[in-house]
Amino acid sequence: MEGDAVNRWPILVATLAVDLIALSLGWWWVIPLTGLAVAAAVPGRAAFTAMLAGTLMAGAASLVWQGGARTLDVADLTGAIALNTRGLGWAVVAATLVYIVLLAVAGAWLGAAVRRAGAGIRATGVADVEPVTEPLEERKDQHV
């Protein structure tokens, strides 16, 4: 293990299973929720990379599972319809996998923010929110 004391394999396998089941049902919105849950529960780069690897593997497996041996043919047809040219099936598959990873990163970003906000509230018992006491005109000068 590196500096992180997190075992990556359970996170990778759990992310792979949840995302693969969700994608096979067409529930793409579960991917950011998985990223949110992992990042909110487990801090560290090891957990983040394991979650990304599991999500990427689930996305690739889902594409192959649903498209079968004709995955690139379907992607090529989609590319031909969208871009008016043939032979870009690999780009459609790559763009799909990048989009899946971006969904997971967005969820993880939100999960890390929730974890940090929760840590601040747990440490003090209250949120770090200051009431606004000065007039709006004075506050405008502060943001220049």
Give the model's pLDDT for residue 83: 86
Cα pseudo-dihedral 30, 33, 37, 38, rounded to 10: 70
Which one, of 99, 90, 80, lies nearest residue 29 by Cα?
Answer: 99
Whether 63 has a pLDDT exceeding 60, the answer reads yes
pLDDT at 144 over 50: no
Q: CA–CA separation, 91 vs 41, rounded Å?
A: 34
pTM, two decimal places: 0.76
* Mean pLDDT, residues 5-31: 92
Gap between the Cα atoms of 32 and 95, Å rounded? 17
Q: What is the pLDDT of residue 76?
A: 92
Mean pLDDT, residues 38-50 taken together: 92
pLDDT higher than 60, residue 62: yes
Percent of the chain with pLDDT over 70: 78
Q: Exposure of 142 by Cβ count < 10 A (0-12 exposed, 13-18 middle, 19+ buried)? A: exposed
The confidence score (pLDDT) of residue 116 equals: 85
Determine the pLDDT at residue 3: 45
User: Which segments of 29-108 are extended strands (E)?
Assistant: none
Only one residue has tokens 């971006």, namely 102
Please report which confidence band the pLDDT of residue 1 belongs to, taking 50, 70 and 90 as the band edges. Answer: very low
- How confident is the prediction for the chain on average, in pLDDT? 85
Quickly count: other Cβ atoms within 10 Å of residue 55's Cβ: 30
Compute the distance between CA of residue 31 and CA of residue 23 in angstroms, rounded to an integer. 8
- In tens, the pLDDT along 89-126 reads 999 999 999 999 999 999 999 999 988 887 666 556 55
